[in-house]
Amino acid sequence: MEQLSAVIAANTDETHVVTDALRRCGLDRRCLLTSALAFAVAPFLSKITARAETPMSFTEVASGVFVHQGRYELQSPENKGDMANASFVIGSDAVAVIDTLGSAKVGRELRSAIKAVTDKPIRYVINSHMHPDHVFGNAAFKEDNPQFVGHHKLARGLSARASQYLAANKEMLGPEAFDGCEIILPTVSVQDRLSLDLGGRTLLLEAQKTAHTDNDLIVTDSATDTVFLADLLFSGAIPTLDGSIRGWLALIEQLEQRKAARVIPGHGPHAMQLPEAMHDEQRYWSVVAADVRKLIKEGKTIQDATKSAGFSERGKWELFDQYHVRNVTAAFAELEWE
């Protein structure tokens, strides 16, 4: 109401002009007030509409390679599951989408943004791994009849957690943002390596050993030497462990030796450079692993670890309080048996 009053006050002169004209036409006081109010709030409502219709933003990080940066937030009705990075690559014949965000609703916004850039058909939807913030937008692309592509363990992982993911995300997103969400399993599986031809450029998909999850893919665009690391690389937002801390640290060492024009994180800036891109993540997991191993050696429990291990990293990551204890719990469960 304060905003409405301010709008009305700002338009007082114009409102008087209209009401005087209406009065001369013989309208009663109630109609006058209604008409004046409608005139006064029109600029305010038009601003709301314009803001709601603002298209999803993308940055072209290389020729034909577009990246949308998600928010450092938990999923909510307000962000509609827009918390991860999503990308698309345009070839001379077709388009490939890499991750579709966290709801069918925001997935439709993603699809509309792609259609605003190119009229080439969306031939492939690639899911980098199974987490809902990367796959729940899949439903928005069903009408394109694409191939849904993922790691050979992706279907098993999604199927095992389907009811859990759907229930949890419905609660966090709310019924409106959650509407249309469903689990869509891959139609093409990557056992080791797979090449996808977009016309004039090839995407190389590489299935990884267990690290962030047990179904991580790395995607490389041959035309621009752009490497999509997805959630194998977090920057700014805290990494989350749903696989193996030892496997992830080993993979980070390999990735630091890799050559690429640029890498695209799953959470973080639109593009980064190797090896620097991996440094913060490597430090975080190394600290967690070292602290947990020390506590295990001292005979401490998993509860002890959740109160102290890795807390020197607090303040260096967004969403630390939401995910760090979970990371320590997963790391302890793995490392106590090594």
For residue range 261-292, list pLDDT tens digits in order.
999 999 999 999 999 999 999 999 999 999 99
When pLDDT is averaged across residues 48-74 and rounded to a whole number, the result is 83
- Same domain? For 77 and 222 the reply is yes
Q: What pLDDT does residue 96 have?
A: 98
- The amino acid present at 41, given as its one-letter code, is V
**245 and 295 in a common domain:** no
Task: Look up residue 84 and give its two tokens.
Answer: 């991860």
Residues 267 and 293 in one domain: no
Token digits of residue 252? 């980070």
Q: What is the pLDDT of residue 36?
A: 40
- In terms of domains, do 95 and 25 share one? no
Digit-coded pLDDT (tens) for 37-50: 443 444 444 444 43
| Band (25; pLDDT cuts 50, 70, 90) | very low
Least confident of 18-22, 87-91, 225-229: 18-22
Which residue among 277, 307, 324 closes a domain? Answer: 277
For 157-202, what is each residue's pLDDT tens digit? 999 999 999 999 999 999 999 999 999 999 999 999 999 999 999 9
pLDDT of residue 9: 38
Same domain, residue pair 224 and 114: yes
**One domain, residues 239 and 260:** yes
Cβ neighbours around 206 below 10 Å, total? 15
* pLDDT for residue 23: 42
**pLDDT at residue 54, rounded to an integer:** 73
- Do the strands 217-221 and 226-234 form a parallel or antiparallel pair, or are they unpaired? antiparallel
Does 326 lie in the same domain as 235?
no
What is the pLDDT averaged over residues 110-119?
Answer: 97
Amino acid at 322: Q
Q: Do both 102 and 205 map to the same domain?
A: yes
- Residues near 242 by beta carbon (within 8 Å), at least 6 away in sequence: 131, 212, 213, 330
Q: Tell me: do 163 and 98 sit in the same domain.
A: yes
Q: Indicate the number of domains in the chain.
A: 3
Q: Is a pLDDT exceeding 50 seen at residue 21?
A: no
Query: Mean pLDDT for the chain?
Result: 88
Same-domain pairing of 100 and 161? yes
Looking at the fold, whether 45 and 187 belong to one and the same domain comes out as no
- Out of 33, 52, 71, pick the residue that ends a domain: 52
Q: Distance between CA atoms of 190 and 188, rounded to whole angstroms? A: 7
Q: Which of 277, 294, 327 is the last residue of a domain?
A: 277
Statement: residue 34 has pLDDT above 90:
no
Contacts of 29 (CB under 8 A, 6+ apart): none
Residues 290 and 270 in one domain: no
Domain that holds residue 7: 2-52
CATH number (domain holding residue 161) = 3.60.15.10
**For range 212-225, the mean pLDDT:** 98
**Which helix (DSSP H) or strand (DSSP E) does residue 114 occupy?**
helix 104-117
